[in-house]
Amino acid sequence: MKALPDFLAREHDPRDPSPWLALYLDQSTPLPDDVKAAWLADSSSASRQYLLPFLRPLARLAIVLFQVCKVFVPRNWAHSRLLHRLLAWGLKRFVSPEANWLILRHFHLGSQVLAFIGANSPVRVDTSPLAPPDIDALRDEMFLKHDLNLFNFVIRLNQALRAQGIELRKAQTVDFSMIAEPPVRLADMPHGRLNFLDLQSAIELFTPLYQLMLTDNDFWRAANSLQLDETIGIYAATLLDAPEHLILVNNKHPLVPLSTLRAGHRLVVHGLSTEMLHALLVKFRAARETAAAASIL
């Protein structure tokens, strides 16, 4: 693997500035430098520039055709285990190291964010954290479990709040103990000659397969779980009393279901929103630790 992405290795030319370098240096988006570098390296790849425009319409056509085909098969027809084996196989052999790293990170970060909300809410809410150490661990129906965890968490949290007649509110003492850097490394990701596919292209390719091999309920739930980004962002902002940080957590209104045809693009936005929300929690934790150290001195 290259030590640095091209936009960082190349010298800045004022007559031909790199848009990727501008996005990397910009500090308005709360991402760690290594994550932002991997994200932009993946986004600026030849795969995304030349392959994605052809893959996206074909993938969306496949979703429509598979939906028609599924009218003629039993309603509960599904092969989730086979689906996850195929996804893990495809990720290991064809997807770029940066994309695989970001995908693995997502499970860890999502679990940490839910644990943060559960630990700091005024009611007790247990979570089911997902922390795959490598791509092979995704075979254990990890993508499906991720969607189920999100909906189950929202249901359990709000059932508990309604049962006690209270609302989510600012936490008096915020617990950041679960917020940490995931123990997965970019250097450990597969980087063979065929590992070239960017994150968005991979998601566009895998989405029709996801739709084909899951029940309609599972696929619809997975696509619409993306609209809970704002919901989770509001929960975190309420606990921190910091609503101004919600501006970059945006994946459409949770009460307005969208077509599954755009699920691939929205899944990428979902991943980025999770990264940014986690990065904000890391910053809040660091600020509190700095303040505590200053008070001791």
Q: List, for residues 264-289, the tens digit of each pLDDT value.
A: 788 888 888 899 899 999 999 998 88
Q: What is the DSSP letter of 199?
A: H
Q: Which percentage of the chain shows pLDDT scores above 90?
A: 60
* 53-68 per-position pLDDT tens digit: 999 999 999 988 988 8
Residue 256 has pLDDT above 70, yes or no: no
Q: Which percentage of the chain shows pLDDT scores above 70?
A: 93
Q: Find tokens 């640095």 and name the residue.
A: 4
Gyration radius from the chain CA atoms: 20
Q: How far is CA 229 from the centre of its chain?
A: 10
Q: Is the pTM of this model over 0.85?
A: yes
What is the pLDDT, as a whole number, of residue 246?
64
Longest dimension (CA), the chain: 71
* 195-213 per-position pLDDT tens digit: 999 999 999 999 999 889 9
End-to-end Cα, the chain, rounded Å = 44
Best CA proximity match to 215, nearest among 88, 86, 67: 67
What is the pLDDT, as a whole number, of residue 244?
67
* 96-111 per-position pLDDT tens digit: 999 999 999 999 999 9
| Average pLDDT score over the chain | 89
Q: How confident is the model at residue 229 (pLDDT cuts 50, 70, 90)?
A: confident
Residue 255 has pLDDT above 80, yes or no: no
* 13-30 per-position pLDDT tens digit: 899 999 999 999 998 888
Residue 247 has pLDDT above 80, yes or no: no
